[in-house]
Structures are given as C-alpha cells and as structure tokens.
Amino acid sequence: MNEEYDVIVLGTGLTECILSGIMSVNGKKVLHMDRNPYYGGESASITPLEDLMGLFEKRRFRKFLVYVANFDEKDPRTFEGIDPMKTTMREVYKKFDLGQDVIDFTGHALALYRTDDYLDQPCCETINRIKLYSESLARYGKSPYLYPLYGLGELPQGFARLSAIYGGTYMLNKPIEEIIVQNGKVIGVKSEGEIARCKQLICDPSYVKDRVEKVGQVIRVICILSHPIKNTNDANSCQIIIPQNQVNRKSDIYVCMISSAHNVAAQGKYIAIVSTTVETKEPEKEIRPALELLEPIEQKFISISDLLVPKDLGTESQIFISRTYDATTHFETTCDDIKNIYKRMTGSEFDFEEMKRKKNDIYGED
C-alpha cells in the first residue's frame, strides 16, 4: 500500500463511488478504501400520471401538460405568451388556472422541488423538469423512475466496477487510522501501519468529524408490509411524495416502496421507506401521515440521522467531503453534490458528454 495516488477515496457511498469512477475514467490513479466490509455506506418510484389523485380528469391540468409537452425553450412559437426567462412559475400556474392541490403536486411530485421558492423564479427550469418527468414516463412505461435489482447498494457497486475497469484499486474492511495533513494540505492516509500518499482526498463525513457541521436531522422509517400500498393499483413499487403544504410542514415527506420484484424482499412482502427532514422534537409524529398510508404495518425500524456538511470547500486542504444523504428518495441532491465536489476538485464543470466519448473509445458505438 506504500504507493502514491492522485486521489484516495474513503467510504463507498453512492457519492464516493461515482466520483471514484469519474476520476479513474479521467486518468487519475485512484485508491478507494472503506472501513466496512461491504459497499454502500449510508446510501440506503410515483405512479403513472394517468392513474393519480383524479387531477388528470381536469381539463385545465391536461391543457397545462400539453403545453409542457410542446414547450421548447429554443422555439418562441411554443411559448404562448410566456417568457421562460422572465415569467414566474406562479404566473404560469395562474395562466392555466390551476388550484393549490395541483400546484403542490406538480411542484413537489413532478418537478421534485423541496420548497416553494421556485414559484417566484423564471419558469423555464420548472417546465423542463416537468417535461423530463413526462418524457421519462413515456420512455419507461409504468414509471419515470428506474430501481436496481437487489437494492440501492448495487448503484455504488456499479460505479466501483467502473473505477476498477480504469485501474482503480479497492480495499474494503480497511481501518483508517489517520488522515495525514502537512502544512494544511492532505498528503496521505494511514491504515494498519502503512501510508498511502495522495494529492487529493474524497470522503464521507464519518471519516472527518472535525471538519463537518450538523445542519439538521433526517428521520427514516423502514416498514415491512404484507400488502401493496392502498390506492396504487397493487403496484409492486412506487414513490409517494407528500407535499409540505398538504400536511402543514416546511418539508415534504417521501415514501419509497419496493418488493420481491426487485429481489429485496420475500415473496408477498413489501418494504416501504419513509423519510423527512426533522422539524420538531417529536419526529415520529411528523411522519404519521405517511405511516397511515401504509397501514397495517407488520414491523417498523426507526432511525434518526444527523445531516452533516463540510465546514469549507476543501480547496486549501484538498480534502473534499460529501454531504450526508438527505430525506429525498430520487438522488437529485446527491447528483448536485457530486457535480459540486467535481468542480471544487478540478476547477471545471463536469461534462457528461466527455464521459460518453471515453466509453465509446473503449466499447465503440452501440
């Protein structure tokens, strides 16, 4: 292990594994370590549009969806009097005369916003988010979401394999004794008496508790059911988002339900994971609206986790720390964190097209 690497990665959560894969593809020499003997760290889908909440029987909402489907920010003929860079989303909703329930559903369950701040922003991004939802639904059929067989732990493993293909070295079950810093800058990691040197370090907050701060908490409840969730057409998986306004909260409540169809539960059993940002001293009461949707519940397991974020950008120490996973179930905030860390490490925006070109260089065109 007494070698020098461009990047050492500590922890095998989704964020760390994706960044490890990206850095390896970019030609960096990567060492990826985890104190645990398994992948995943803390990396622990919504019903088709036509089936939900009776909203789609309303002509106004259907008219709005048709407008979104035809919208093209490069073609002013599709704007219908709306300026995508100036007209707010609040004004767009008003133009189509949409009610509050529809607005809550559209903003939080389709566009996946976590607050209502977007209402007073230019509408272009929101319209494109809703358009993406609709196009994904059309592409994948019953849901706009994809879920890996054998659970979310497969996602970080997939990116770990990508890193390994490009020469990354993996060491699980490896205790981390010390992150060595010299003159304020990381120079290596000590494990079992050996030192691996590096120029940059990526890690989750659990490896550098003195460099992170708590900004909140998340409650997660894993529920075991013997039935699909009511009013979902007996779906074997679904994502439910309860918008904050509907339950007089500042944060949405998320429910992700999976089953034996994903090889994560026994036949006839269903696993539902409820999560939200803690707002009171009684977090279990806060998720009650979601639990009521799941009744009867055979067994539930409750955990409350701290939301930890890095105290600095890491550009001086070259220690780049990921944020802990929040209450959302669709990984958008995780993707934002990955792109943010990449920019802090390299000084440039992440270019997905560049990754695709490198893949083609090896495997050729499809």
Architecture of domain 4-45+150-211+311-363 in this structure: 3-Layer(bba) Sandwich (3.50)
- Note whether 237 and 45 are within 8 A (CB): yes
| pLDDT: which is higher, 321 or 135 | 321
Q: Which two tokens stand for residue 34?
A: 């985890």
Query: Lowest-confidence range among 148-162, 190-204, 259-273, 279-293?
Result: 148-162
User: Residue 151: pLDDT band by 50, 70, 90 thresholds?
Assistant: low
Relative to beta strand 270-277, strand 253-259 is antiparallel
Query: Lowest-confidence range among 80-89, 95-104, 259-268?
Result: 259-268
What sign results for the dihedral spanned by CA atoms 22, 25, 26, 30? positive
The per-residue pLDDT for 260 is 86
To the question of domain 55-137 being in CATH 1.10.405.10, the answer is: yes
**pLDDT tens-digit profile of 257-290?**
988 887 878 889 999 999 999 999 999 999 999 9
Query: Lowest-confidence range among 31-40, 183-192, 195-204, 330-339?
Result: 31-40
Q: In a 3-state reduction of DSSP, which class is residue 320?
A: strand
Report the C-alpha gap between 257 and 148 in whole angstroms.
13
pTM of the predicted model as reported, rounded to 2 decimal places: 0.68
Query: Lowest-confidence range among 8-17, 109-118, 137-146?
Result: 137-146
Average pLDDT over residues 316-323: 96
User: Residue 56: pLDDT band by 50, 70, 90 thresholds?
Assistant: very low
Average pLDDT over residues 86-111: 91
The per-residue pLDDT for 45 is 34
Crossing angle for the helix pair 154-165 and 14-25, to the nearest 10 degrees = 20
Q: How many residues does the chain have?
A: 366
Report the C-alpha gap between 233 and 229 in whole angstroms.
8
pLDDT of residue 51 exceeding 60? no
Q: What percent of the chain has pLDDT over 70?
A: 86
Give the domain ranges of the chain: 4-45+150-211+311-363, 55-137, 217-306
Q: Which two tokens stand for residue 100?
A: 């509050």
Any idea which fold 217-306 has?
A: Guanine Nucleotide Dissociation Inhibitor; domain 2 (3.30.519)
The per-residue pLDDT for 200 is 97
User: Residue 46: pLDDT band by 50, 70, 90 thresholds?
Assistant: very low
Nearest Cα neighbor of 254 from 188, 328, 314, 332 is 328
Instruction: List the helix and strand counts (H, then E) for the chain.
Output: 10, 12
Amino acid letter, 211: R
Q: In a 3-state reduction of DSSP, which class is residue 324?
A: coil
pLDDT of residue 43 exceeding 70? no
| Token pair 């903003």 in the structure block, residue | 107
Q: Report cis status (omega within 30 of 0) of the bond before 296.
A: yes
The per-residue pLDDT for 213 is 97
